[in-house]
Amino acid sequence: MRIDVITIFPGYLVPLREALVGRAIEKGLVQLAVHDLRSWTHDVHQAVDDAPYGGGPGMVMRPQVWGEALDAVIGDEPARLVVPTPAGRPFTQSTAEAWAEEHRLVFACGRYEGIDQRVIDDAAGRMPVEEVSIGDYVLVGGEAAVLVMIEAVVRLLPGVLGNPESAQQDSFSDGLLEGPAYTRPELWRGLAVPEVLRSGNHAAIARWRRDRALERTASRRPDLLAALAADALDRTDREFLAGLRDGVEDG
């Protein structure tokens, strides 16, 4: 996969050279290029923004600069353009999984009041464009969101994770939050690892982990349970959840 990021702060993306994503780049599993948007300015001040039409606070990023940048970076090669914005649709694990199938992703990091809408509209006539939000809050720019999204996508690429099953057991992979995890020692500060995890009974362990995932999701993200497909839960799952609800009502 090739990933391009266009930003006025190239240094913000340096952490992508670290840890798991950095190793994926070193192994040739990912090609990463970060481009300075100011390279496509033509004035002494390298201005990338201007006052908004219609008045109001803040500044809007200029279409001329962004248009030239996208033309130069993308060229004629097929790509999916991603624009982080609080006004975008939610970025989810399903989004990451879909993007992991792409050959090329290009991220456009907006700042101030965002990028002139005509840049997105123009690009949409030539390539798939997605305006995406990583949460219901506002950041000072798109760079932090891009760090999040790239890491979520890259870890799903073949060969990136040491154990591919890790991704299959992630939170959200089956619509549920992942349950708690434990390692050695068996007893720490008076707290013991659950006995079932030390039993060697793989069926019981799988059931315990499933129950903990259901329990955690019901407690922290009931909206995820409500969004599950009708066939996502089996009879044992439903009985366990019914027991949780009965316990709450009794309390």
Preceding omega of 63 cis (within 30 degrees of 0): no
What gap in Å lies between CA 76 and CA 191, rounded to an integer? 59
What gap in Å lies between CA 4 and CA 106, rounded to an integer? 5
Residues marked as catalytic:
86, 113, 155, 170
User: For residue 51, how far is the Cα from the chain centroid?
Assistant: 31
| Listed residue (13, 70, 59) closest to 37, CA to CA | 70
| Listed residue (196, 233, 199) closest to 214, CA to CA | 233
What gap in Å lies between CA 113 and CA 52, rounded to an integer? 9
The residue count for the chain: 251
Q: Which helix (H) or strand (E) holds 46?
A: none
DSSP-derived pairing of the beta strands 191-192 and 187-188 = antiparallel
What gap in Å lies between CA 109 and CA 73, rounded to an integer? 14
